[in-house]
Amino acid sequence: MSNSIEVSGSPGVSRLRISDLTVFIARVFESLGFPVGDADRAAFLMAEADAWGADAHGVFRLPMYVKRVQNGGINPRPKMRIVHEQPATALLDGDNAMGHLCMSRAAEIAIEKARTLGAAWVGVRNSNHAGAGSLYARMPLPHDMIGLYAAVGGANLLPPWGGTEKLLSTNPLAIAVPGSKRPAIVLDMATTNASFGKIKVKAQRGEPMPEGWMIDREGNPLTDPQKALEGFLLPIGGAKGYGLALMIGLLGGILNGATFGKSAIDFSTDHSTITNTGQLLIAVNIAAFADVQEFKAGVDEIWDQMKSSPKLPGVDEVRLPGERSAKIYEDRKRNGLPLSPELRRVLDELADNLQVPRL
Amino acid sequence: MSNSIEVSGSPGVSRLRISDLTVFIARVFESLGFPVGDADRAAFLMAEADAWGADAHGVFRLPMYVKRVQNGGINPRPKMRIVHEQPATALLDGDNAMGHLCMSRAAEIAIEKARTLGAAWVGVRNSNHAGAGSLYARMPLPHDMIGLYAAVGGANLLPPWGGTEKLLSTNPLAIAVPGSKRPAIVLDMATTNASFGKIKVKAQRGEPMPEGWMIDREGNPLTDPQKALEGFLLPIGGAKGYGLALMIGLLGGILNGATFGKSAIDFSTDHSTITNTGQLLIAVNIAAFADVQEFKAGVDEIWDQMKSSPKLPGVDEVRLPGERSAKIYEDRKRNGLPLSPELRRVLDELADNLQVPRL
């Protein structure tokens, strides 16, 4: 445990420098035959997900990604290419690369186009799971742009509203808007009451799920995360969340020539079949609509309005989307990522198998 | 009741031809000084909302719009203009026109731009309530495009999650995707469990609201629609719906230089203050991503997959977003709009006051 410090009060939980985590993940990908640049980029983005507190989307997923690469489910040496292009749009074929690589490339294309056109919409196909959507929605922020991200999930756990056939996934949506003195406001949400990532974390920790996350085939609450594949997720707002998940499937899947519906591949159980994951990224150049500084001051003003709302009885704080993440990010960038002994054991085993230095 | 037929089994409820309704609404607007073209267009769109079954957004709203025009809250002779423009974006200043006129103009601009650029994002400010968002999301459909619409609502009835200050509205979102042999899939949803329009209809009908729509200041269920202004709406998925409503406020309000947050004007109680309503419309040209016929066949396939899902016990039918509307549209275009005696009385009174022929 040379790269870590014990966390006081949490026996066994140590803190790991984000930069050390990045190096470790990059070595893992290099050992699988990734070009150095791709390994570094994917590693950086996965470690960033951990830094932002998206625990279900960071290094926690590494063993699964490794298994996919080893079984031909992810291409370690992809040649991405733009297959359709118009001035304000592009369709990127990811050649079955890591989703992180596809989506950061898509964000670059969208930002470049939005710079001169005002806005751009980039679709992606033949991609894979890309981790935390907020990572990509945030990419336009330093360019004084707004980012919107949506993805077609792999694991179908959601039936159409009123149905019992699992045809939809949690199809997440992320939107990031920059502030000035306040942090960016960043929404990153599944269209179901719980994401599958959260359910995986519950399963790994041996904790039950709260009621409202899932139901069983008779419509009763399901709280055992080990039985997740036997039940159904519940969409937000009932038919509305179903509708949102469906629309994201059409925009991120069907429009891009990517998978949606019956043909979806659950990459948590199938490690070799190509998923043909579809995602999309929209960049909006603030200067095309407003004075950038005035806009950011307006976003700050909204932040302050929300924060100063009186609270319902029993509520300790009114929060903005992205506020908790921003605090976690500051802490973890400075003090490191808390790593559970269970996850460290899994990663040590992975390192040994790949003959890569342990964390 | 020359323009209507009694509906069998519903005493007092008569059917009204959509075309007759359109003419009536146009005459009302003309009597208020609208140019003929504007009166016709606004009337057509309001009657279309009724035809699609959006009962809370059609002629039901006419008395309120009239009051606003009479009190200076809506400009009967607006000069709309584009105040910012980039190739793929525009910001339209509606000059306080009817929202229907602003949004149909915005859709025209977006469609024209998306034709050559692949996609376009048009923001609107100094607009007003535009009725059913699906009307505008549908406008790109005949051009083989996808439409997305979002709007900042006027009546703040939603606090930030955990708070008690009503800083947000139901901020609706509509997305329309064309099919081939199946109807278009059209989602039109509030980011709250109930829209304010639905609550207004409950109030007008003297019916209670179901639990889950609203809570009172102590957090208890509120079911009396007459007390709606004393309570809070509930967002879909809790914090997620709050986040979505907030993001629509930033994208449709702050980005466009339109109202969002504390400064919102509730046009159901204030008839003279300019609302500066903000909305946005995105058009995506399907041909920029896919073969149009293949895409539409793919959408049909998803429709069929959802429809053929087995059903939960007690569910009669699995529906697609827009399916119910499409059936209502066909019926009402052919057989007319069922008009309650209460609404007819209100409209007769309005006609008499404006010296316009009754329906």
Do A76 and A96 contact (CB within 8 A), yes or no?
Answer: no
Strands (E), chain B: 4-6, 14-16, 81-86, 89-93, 119-127, 145-151, 173-177, 185-189, 214-215, 221-222, 232-233, 277-285, 337-339
pLDDT at residue number A205: 87
Same domain for A63 and A4: yes
Same domain for B127 and B55: no
- Chain A / chain B CB contacts < 8 angstroms: 264
Same domain for B120 and B50: no
Q: Is residue B218 part of a domain?
A: no
Q: How far is A69 from chain B (nearest CA, A)?
A: 28
pLDDT at residue number A2: 43
What strands lie across the sheet with B185-189, from one edge to the other?
Answer: B81-86, B89-93, B119-127, B277-285, B145-151, B173-177, B185-189
Q: How far is B214 from chain A (nearest CA, A)?
A: 13
Q: Low-confidence residues of chain B, pLDDT below 50?
A: 1-2
pLDDT at residue number B195: 81
Q: How far is A152 from chain B (nearest CA, A)?
A: 14
pLDDT digits (tens, 9 = 90+) for A267-298: 888 999 999 999 999 999 999 999 999 999 99
Distances in Å between the Cα of B22 and the Cα atoms of A273, B1, B320 are 55, 16, 28
pLDDT at residue number B205: 87
Same domain for A31 and A6: yes
Same domain for B357 and B320: no
Q: Per the CB < 8 Å rule, is B311 touching A251?
A: no
Same domain for B96 and B120: yes
Task: Using CB atoms, pick whichever of A118, A163, A301 lies closest to residue B86.
Answer: A118
pLDDT digits (tens, 9 = 90+) for B200-212: 889 888 999 998 8
Number of domains in chain B: 2
SS3 B187: strand
pTM: 0.96
Q: Is residue B204 part of a domain?
A: no
Q: Is residue A22 part of a domain?
A: yes
Task: Using CB atoms, pick whichever of B244, B256, B301 lies closest to residue A187.
Answer: B244
Residues of B in contact with A84 (CB under 8 A): 288-290
Domain that holds residue B277: 78-192+235-332
Task: Extract the tokens encoding A244.
Answer: 């949102």
Same domain for B95 and B66: no
Q: Hey, which residues does B163 pair with through a beta bridge?
A: A311
Residues 6+ apart with CB under 8 A from B71: B271, B272
Do B154 and B169 contact (CB within 8 A), yes or no?
Answer: yes
Find, among A117, A115, A14, A98, the residue nearest to A49 by Cα: A98
Q: Per the CB < 8 Å rule, is A244 touching B187?
A: yes
Q: Low-confidence residues of chain A, pLDDT below 50?
A: 1-2
Q: Per the CB < 8 Å rule, is A119 touching B88?
A: yes
Same domain for B168 and B301: yes
Task: Using CB atoms, pick whichever of B114, B241, B318 lies closest to residue A237.
Answer: B241
pLDDT at residue number A10: 66
pLDDT at residue number A264: 92
Q: Is residue B203 part of a domain?
A: no
Residue B249: CATH number of its domain: 3.30.1370.60
Q: Is residue B248 part of a domain?
A: yes
SS3 B264: coil
Same domain for B51 and B1: yes
Find, among A82, A120, A85, A72, the residue nearest to A102 by Cα: A82
Residue B47: CATH number of its domain: 1.10.1530.10
Dihedral sign for Cα B286, B287, B290, B295, please: positive
Q: Is residue A181 part of a domain?
A: no
Same domain for B172 and B29: no
Q: Is residue A46 part of a domain?
A: yes
Rg of chain B in Å (alpha carbons): 20
pLDDT at residue number A156: 93
Q: Per the CB < 8 Å rule, is A318 touching B121?
A: no
Quick one: closest CA in B to A321, which residue?
B243
Task: Using CB atoms, pick whichever of A260, A302, A311 lies closest to residue B254.
Answer: A302
pLDDT at residue number A268: 80
Same domain for A358 and A303: no
Mutate to test the interface with B, among A144, A165, A289, A315 (most CBs of B within 10 A): A289
pLDDT digits (tens, 9 = 90+) for A323-332: 999 999 999 9
Q: How far is A32 from chain B (nearest CA, A)?
A: 33
Same domain for A59 and A1: yes
Q: Is residue A343 part of a domain?
A: yes
Q: How many CB atoms lie within 10 A of CB B204?
A: 16
Tell me how far apart the alpha carbons of residues A221 and B184 are, in angstroms, rounded to a whole number.
34
